[in-house]
Structure 1
Amino acid sequence: MTLRADPADAPPAPTRIRRFSRAERWVHRTTALLMGVCVLTAAFLYVPELARLVGRRELVVRVHEWAGLALPVPVLAGLASRAFRADLGHLNRFGPHDRRWLRAALRRDKRAESRPAGKFNAGQKVYAAWIAGATLVMLGTGLLMWFTHLTPIMWRTSATFVHDWLALTIGIVLAGHIGMALGDPEARRGMRTGSVSPDWADREHPLWRR
């Protein structure tokens, strides 16, 4: 005779699923703060209407420079966290499901079954790769603009051109990133508290949930 398990003996389903460690949330918050300072100070330096509101332009320049130099520090410090290193590995790998996700996004197909995703979807992976590369370019061109006596004038002129236009592009991409976050309260809760609901994980990141 086969004995059936009593449903009452089954372990309770988790009410929340751990998604991010404390170290990962610290890296995200600190990086977001420094990036926000860079974007805000850049706006005060380049938008005439905002520049007129600043009494000490030299101070704004110094804050912008030091915030830019500090931008890679949280990520470098986060490498001490095993969870953070593991997530960098997830972000750095593209699989067949990611290509499927991107094709669905281009078709504006929002069905969950058309957008399979692991811990990070393909859009998040593309954003992470782009913003990491853009940050390195901004850091390099910013240093060329800061230490003007070390490089030829053509280098400084080219660095200024790239720095200014890439800064505008970063501002637009960040606005899109923030807009996506505002449209997903559970994703924001996961970054704020470190855990998400099982229903959200099953819907948005089914491969990770499995």
Structure 2
Amino acid sequence: MTTQTLPHKRQVLRYRVGPRIIHAMLASSFVLLLVTGLMLVWGPLAPYAAGGGSRLIHRIGAVVFMLIPVAYLLFDRPGARELLWDSFHYDRDDWKWLKQVYRYFLGHAAEMPPQGRLNAGQKLHHAGVVIFSALIVASGLLLWVGKGSFTPNGLALAAMLHDVSMLVLTVLLVGHLYFTFVYNALQGMVKGYIPEREARLEHSKWVDSLPEKEPWIVEEVVESPESAVLSPEF
């Protein structure tokens, strides 16, 4: 029997299980908060808020949303610490990247300066999510439990801050979805691994820093008609 060497495609571990679960919790709770929040404040959707059910669902979603950083710290503290550090620290290549951000918007990541685990745009996105999520939680708690303890003007200010922060996060979500589909990033969040060539396209400095061993780098056998080995059945 003859054998042939099958080609291999190197895969890079982009997201561990913990961050993927946290991401799913964040996405689902945010969408729930967005939809039920619109029912409470937007006239055309107001009829769906009748009976108080949407307000209850909104508060359940808020509790889940507030528990996300706690869960992150409990189950993946190194990952949470790494994410915060990366989101608020920028090097020279990051500033060069931001000056050419228009290229990235048009899908030309190969022409961008080399980046680490997060590119500069992702850093700004994550920093915005952290800051405005904190503002949403703080203002939401004031609106939830602050009635009777704060002046009407104070509650009105909290409501305005809550709405503006939610608007900013919604804009960030739209941008996040746009780049997810432009750069086919969903597979990394679903499977955890992405092809090395795609990882190098946006995060070459990060890939170079990874250990050359599992689970960070794995070899995936690629089946093809030319390379498949046919074994006779006995």
1:68-100 alpha-carbon deviations (Å, 9 max, x no partner): 233131222122323443343333321111111
Match of 1:64 in 2: 58
How far does residue 154 in structure 1 lie from its aligned partner after superposition? 1.9
SS at match of 1:20: coil
CA distance in 2, matches of 1:49, 1:115: 46
Amino acid at match of 1:131: V
- Are 1:76 and 2:75 an aligned pair? no
Kindly provide the amino acid, as one letter, of the partner of residue 75 in structure 1.
P
Cα offset for 1:172? 2.3
- How does the TM-score come out when normalised to structure 1? 0.84
Q: How many residues align?
A: 199
Which of 195, 206, 209 matches 1:208?
A: 206
How far the C-alpha of 1:22 sits from its partner, in A, is: 0.4
Give the stretch that moved more between structures: 119-128 or 144-153: 144-153
The whole-number CA distance in structure 2 between the counterparts of 1:35 and 1:111 is 29
Compare 78-87 and 60-69 and name the one that shifted more.
78-87
Task: Describe the shift of the 1:42–1:189 C-alpha distance in structure 2 as closer, same or farther (beyond 3 A).
Answer: same
In the superposition, relative to structure 1, how do residues 53 and 153 fare at CA in structure 2: closer, same or farther (>3 Å)? Answer: closer
Question: What residue number does 1:115 align with?
Answer: 113
Which shows bigger deviation, 20-29 or 74-83? 74-83
2:232 is aligned to none
Larger fraction in helix = 1
Which whole-Å CA distance do the structure 2 matches of 1:158 and 1:91 have between them? Answer: 28
When normalised by structure 2's length, the TM-score is 0.76
Indicate the structure with greater strand content: 2
| Unaligned runs of at least 5 residues, structure 2 | 1-6, 209-234
Paired residues of 1:23 and 1:84 also in contact (CA < 8 A): no
Q: Could you tell me which residue of structure 1 aligns to residue 12 of structure 2?
A: 17
Contact 1:100/1:116 (<8 A) preserved: no
In the TM superposition, 1:1-210 aligns within 5 A as 15-56=10-51, 58-79=52-73, 80-81=75-76, 82-106=78-102, 110=108, 112-147=110-145, 148-185=147-184, 187-210=185-208
| Residues 146-184 of structure 1: per-residue CA shift (max 9 Å, x gap) | 221121222111111221232223222212211221222
Greater CA drift, 117-126 or 40-49: 40-49
Whether the aligned pair in 2 keeps the contact of 1:182 and 1:188 (CA below 8 Å) is yes
Mapped partners of 2:89, 2:50: distance in 1: 47
Shift of 1:129: 0.7
Q: Could you say which structure has the greater relative contact order, defined with CA pairs below 8 angstroms and 6 or more residues apart?
A: 2
